[in-house]
A and B are shown apart, each in its own frame.
Chain A
Amino acid sequence: MSQSIPIIETQRLVLRGPEASDYPNFEATFSSYRARFMGGPLNAYESWMLYAAEIGHWQIHGFGMWMIHDKVTDETYGMAGGWQPAGWPEREIAWIIWPDAAGRGYALEATNAARAYFYNTLGWDTAVSYLDPKNLDSIRLAERLGAVKDHAAHTIDGNDAVYRHPSPQALPGSQIAHGIEMEISHYADPLFKPKGWALD
């Protein structure tokens, strides 16, 4: 039951499977207030077990969460990918960005690439993101990705909002797809200075 995790490269990032050496950054985030919408903050044991579960998820489901690395420096910025633990009505596209790495568009770039992989390589025909209604940063990101609140979809436990991503057919060549591309290229531009609210 060995499972290989594909590597995805984007303009600024490399997505790889979670490894033991990446764990300290994960723990720092999951033991912080930043993790409040992801079931945290967690203690040292819970955090490690969740990290182990992220890896085990790949083994069981054949997809999972990638660790987001900087292409040049290799430092990690967070995680993005797919997630469907027991009790999840549908496959979810999920993300978490370390607090220090927020506001540089990494979550958008990583999540967009992960979604393309799920659609084009794994053949997913739809995907959702389960978001805490108070998690405004993530709701903003879901909307930048073109996801729309799906009032008819099953929630996890009634405390989450379901955002449905554009379908694989609707995405190519769409205004949303161009917008994502343009936004990523802005963030990748060293002279670009984001104004206003910091976006993941």
Chain B
Amino acid sequence: MTVLPLPIPVIETERLILRAPQPGDLKAMVAFFETTRSHMVGGPRDAMGSYTSLVSRLGHWVLNGYGLWHIVEKASGAFIGWTGMIFAPTWSEPELGWTLFEGAEGKGHAFEAATAARVYAARHQGLNGVISYIAPSNSRSMALATRLGASFERDTELLGKPCQIWRHPKMEVAA
């Protein structure tokens, strides 16, 4: 047996649960990736593209030892987006990413989820003082990055599109 180094950890915050991507999440991903809202995070994608994205997130955990969590709102049980660390060819270093679906915004969920993911990455995944890639037109993500204490570092390109690198502060990690 080739045993995959999983399961993916589950993180619980005050209002959210961060858990592994699951097959049942596909429908919401397809809906999201069909919208222009996905343009700033690699979309749009067709149904096959969304499927590949979902299963590759699991493989990402296996290959890198870290990856994206899917975010569930405790109160409603709804799958509302994702956050976690992303690293693939053409990435200059592992990135903290986040995406919330429309309708889940404005409640501080992205902040709560990204904070939890960033703490986990620093404590358990050896990733501290990480970057976030943000599309130049994505002012909401820049605002969140600022709230998270990150600051603009430089302009670059990612997958052929102009992109900004924001740098998160290094956190104290208890030995």
> Is the CB of A54 closer than 8 A to any CB of chain B?
yes
Q: With A5-B1, A7-B2, A55-B4 known to touch, is A86 a contact of B51 (CB < 8 Å)?
A: yes
Chain A residues 18 to 77 lying within 8 A of chain B, measured CB to CB, are: 19-20, 23, 44-45, 47-60
In contact, B26 and A59 (Cβ under 8 angstroms): no
Q: How far is the CA of A175 from the CA of B52 in the complex (A)?
A: 38
Q: Considering the complex, give the chain A residue whose CB is closest to the CB of B2.
A: A17
CA distance in complex: A152, B62 (Å): 39
Q: How large is the interface on A (under 10, 10 to 19, 20 to 34, 35 or more residues)?
A: 20 to 34
Contact (Cβ within 8 A) B8 A1: yes
Which of B23, B54, B58, B59: most chain A CB closer than 10 A? Answer: B59
In the bound complex, CA of A165 to CA of B52 (Å): 26
Residues of B within 8 A of A60 (CB): 23, 54-55, 58
Distance in Å: Cβ of A156 to nearest Cβ of chain B: 9
Are A2 and B63 in contact (CB-based, < 8 A)?
Answer: no
| Contact string against A for B residues 1-16, beta-carbon threshold 8 Å, 1 for contact and 0 otherwise | 1111011100000000
Q: Given A4-B2, A54-B59, A55-B63, are A44 and B48 also a contact pair (CB < 8 Å)?
A: no
Known: A4-B4, A19-B2, A48-B88. A55 touches B47 (CB 8 A): no
Q: Which chain B residue has the least Cβ–Cβ distance from A17?
A: B2
Which of B1, B50, B89 is A86 in contact with, Cβ under 8 Å? Answer: B50
Q: How far is the CB of A110 from chain B (nearest CB, A)?
A: 15
| Secondary structure class of chain B's binding surface, majority of residues | helix
Choose one: B4, B53, B56, B60; the contact of A2 (CB below 8 Å).
Answer: B4
A6 within 8 A of B: yes
Is B1's CB under 8 angstroms from A59's CB? no
Residue of B nearest to A4 (CB): B1
Alpha-carbon distance between A86 and B59 when the two chains are bound, in angstroms: 16
Which B-chain residue is minimally distant from A44 (CB atoms)? B89
Q: State whether the Cβ of A104 lies closer than 8 Å to any Cβ in chain B.
A: no
Give the distance to chain B from A100, nearest Cβ to Cβ, in Å: 22
Neighbouring B residues of A51 by C-beta, 8 Å: 59, 63
| B139 contacts partner chain A, Cβ-Cβ < 8 Å | no
A66's nearest neighbour on chain B, judged by CB, is: B2
- What residues of chain A lie closer than 8 Å to B51, measured between beta carbons? 85-87
Closest-CB distance, A111 to chain B (whole angstroms) = 19
Contact between chains at A17 and B4 (CB < 8 Å): yes
Bound state CA distance, A51 and B88, in angstroms?
11
Q: Looking at the complex, which one of B1, B48, B90 makes contact with A45 (CB distance below 8 Å)?
A: B90
User: A87 touching B58 by the CB < 8 A rule?
Assistant: no
A56 pairs with B7, CB closer than 8 A: no
CB contact between B58 and one of A4, A50, A55, A85 (< 8 Å): that residue: A55
Tell me the minimal C-beta distance from B55 to chain A in angstroms: 3
B175 at the interface (CB under 8 A from A): no
Q: A6-B1, A45-B89 are in contact. Are A59 and B6 (CB under 8 A)?
A: yes
Given A85-B52, A86-B47, A87-B51, A52:B6 Cβ within 8 A: no
Q: In the complex, are the beta carbons of A56 and B6 less than 8 A apart? A: no
6 A-B pairs with CB atoms under 8 Å apart are A44-B90, A48-B88, A54-B59, A56-B60, A85-B52, A86-B50
Interface residues of B (CB under 8 A from A): 1-4, 6-8, 20, 22-23, 26, 47-48, 50-60, 62-63, 88-90, 159
Known pairs A4-B4, A56-B58, A86-B47. 4 more at Cβ < 8 A? A1-B8, A59-B6, A60-B55, A86-B26
